[in-house]
Amino acid sequence: MEQPPITSSSSAAPAVHTSSLAATPLSSSATSPHVFSSPAVAGEHTLFNPHNTPFLQLASDVTSVFAATAIISFSHTHQVISLKLANTNYLYWCMQMMSYLLGQQVFGFVDGSNTCPSPHVLAADGTSLQVNLLFLCWKQHDQLILSALLSSLSMEVLHLVIGYQTSCSAWRTLEQALTSTSNSCIMQLHDSLQDLRQGDESVTQFMQKAKALFDELVAAGRPILLEDFNLYVFRGLRGEFKDLITNLITKAEPLLYADLHSHLLMHEFIHKYSAAIHAPLLPTPNTPPSALVAQR
């Protein structure tokens, strides 16, 4: 039997039928007589369907409809996202969470590209409404994602998302609140880079501190050039690195973080080894006099 056409408006206010969730075919596919979809949402809601199966591939009951869209389990989120979001670690948390959501093929929910379907669709009679199964499935996935996001927040930032009911609204609120691009914040980060000094720190400790400041500028949307990052590091190193800096600063291309760190580590090792060899032998109760004479 041919299905009635779907119209965007009706002369009489349609009655809402919520007692039955059975999906009624809305439009028939030319290639598959068993595949039906709403024109308003066709092709848009595939991110939470890992197998790309048709969403409304109808059988005899509503159970088969939900079976067409596999429900992603987020029960192990706390094991994958080891870092709780706080006021100062948004970049690192975001990197973990984004990778996890992309791997689960549900990132479209939080970035807004996978939009919410209409809660109701026209029934076969063209005048009454029935519950849209796409909406129910979308809502279930979105709430699971929102729950995963909330479980990864620390108490100091949890208040930022109170009252938000979708994963997209919570994600955008956290992004706006914790990646402030205010001039004062940017100036403070630049000042910290300019005042960066190695002091008694090891190369690894010093480089990690410099990289953290660099990453915060990236997260704030104001990244600095790699050449400038190299210069900040060179300025902060101890005097024993002067000869190495002279060689590195003449290179045509700026050094990546890993390469710069490697050069500095090698120089630090050689310097410590050389200092240990040439260190004077101090007398101890067990030092024979002949060793002191030989040193002279």
39-94 residue pLDDT tens: 333 333 333 443 343 334 333 333 344 444 556 667 667 677 888 999 888 888 98
Kindly indicate the confidence band of residue 283, based on its pLDDT and cuts at 50, 70 and 90.
Answer: low
Residues 6+ apart with CB under 8 A from 25: 3, 36, 56, 58, 124
pLDDT tens for each residue of 155-181: 999 999 999 999 999 999 999 998 876
- Looking at residue 86, its pLDDT comes to 92
Closest CA to 56 of 70, 67, 40: 67
Residue 36's DSSP bridge partners are 28
Region of poorest pLDDT, from 251-255, 261-265, 275-279: 275-279
Beta strands in 77-156 (DSSP E): 120-122, 129-131
pLDDT at 287: 56
Residue with tokens 């791997």: 103
As a whole number of angstroms, the distance between CA 140 and CA 145 comes to 9
Which pLDDT does position 156 carry in this prediction? 94
Q: Where does the pLDDT of residue 216 fall: very low under 50, low under 70, confident under 90, or very high at 90 and above?
A: confident
Listed residue (248, 157, 242) closest to 198, CA to CA: 242
Instruction: Record the tokens describing residue 3, joined without a space.
Output: 């299905």
pTM metric for this prediction:
0.56
CB atoms within 10 A of CB 21: 15
Report the run of H or E that residue 82 belongs to, with start and end. none
Query: Greater confidence, 184 or 103?
Result: 103
Query: What pLDDT sits at residue 19?
Result: 39
